[in-house]
Amino acid sequence: MVTHKTTKGIIAILTGGGDVPGLNPAIRAVTIRANREGYKVIGLRRGWAGISELIRDAKADNSNNFQVLTDDIVNKAGRTGGTFLHTSRTRPSHMAKASVPEHLQGTYNAEYNDITPEIIKNLEWLGVDYLIPIGGDDTLSYGVHLYKKGVNVVAIPKTMDNDVPGTDYCIGFSTCVSRTIQMTNSLRTSAGSHERLLVLEVFGRYAGFTAMLPTLAGAANRCVIPEYEFEIDHLAKLLVEDRNQNPSKYSVVLVSEGAMFKGGEMIFADSEKDAYGHAKLGGIGEMVSAKLKELSAKHNNGKVINVIYQKLGYMVRGGDPDALDSIVPMAYGNLALDLILKGVHGRIVVLKNGRYDNLPIDVVTSSKKVVKLSDYNIERLRPYYHSFEMKPFLLMASDN
């Protein structure tokens, strides 16, 4: 439907999964450079949902599914957080019957449906030559699926958990860490005033990077992460000791949302699952808080210590990107264009060992990126490094 007559080709870009600061700068980088090089850029709206719901009819109103991107549009949005293209957790390869677009329900009416043939036809109808999905391992895993079906895909990693395999850095991570440090420092004044323990729940379903790095930077005394099942009594003992050694009489722990008590399981906010099979996490921080108060007297000469609990949640997602999440997305967008200009696809752009690079896109589905327990002191419940020499820039390597 979209003509090639006045362009070298058409590039489509989308953002999927959770929003993070840095998505709009990435969209801007792709669009500005691509337009200058003679390409047309189409923004697919609401992640994989927009291209799923598109109607292949020139008379249909598809304005909610895609838009042509201009320099004016992306320049205005490029300094802001979130994603102006919007996002979703749609999974076209495993789409529940109730989620199948109305015009496709006659064809796809099983309990779960793979509507990938429609996605490919829709991309062809739009005239898309290259597809750039920006997302975490869920969004990009479907990008891998499309690549294996013949679509020219170049991926950009995004997630504040920083757990996309193959890359040391994912868009959103720096702002998340910066916000976590900032908010922890704000809340410590209340903890100190009341001589309490401070418990903050942070993002991190399977990987504890968002708890590890702020703790290493001095924001917290201890952290508990998904990679290690912790003993709550041991944590209570450490935090009471930290508090009593502090002249201001408080201590701080960061709790990853995916952290688990020893012998326990992840704590979920409810039983509802998204298209990728993930239930919403939430509640481990509150449970840790209650247990710490209960156990505090045991380690504090019989005196109970009260606890301040705060779930940071969307507060670290909101707002404008910090410096790194303005610079790295710009570089990632240009790296993606470099590959396209060379006719290369099936790659993911990465930061590895302090340098920009690209890797085969199937690295996203062929491995997992988590915290190495050799970097986490299980006795002290905090990060531990024997030496910082030759470590990656943000210490969290891609080959964990």
- State the catalytic residues: 161
The answer to whether the beta carbons of residues 371 and 332 sit under 8 Å apart is: no
Cβ-based neighbours of 75, under 8 Å, separated by 6 or more: 28, 32
CB atoms within 10 A of CB 289: 22
Q: How distant, in Å, are the alpha carbons of 60, 198, 378 from that of 249?
A: 65, 11, 24
Q: Which of 200, 203, 204, 192 is nearest to 222 (CA)?
A: 200
Give me the residue label for tokens 């994912």: 170
145: left (phi over 0), alpha (psi -120 to 50) or beta: alpha
Long-range contacts of 139-144 (CB under 8 A, 24+ apart): 139/16, 139/17, 139/47, 139/48, 140/164, 140/348, 140/361, 140/364, 141/364, 141/365, 142/16, 142/48, 142/91, 142/92, 142/93, 143/361, 143/364, 144/361, 144/362, 144/364, 144/365
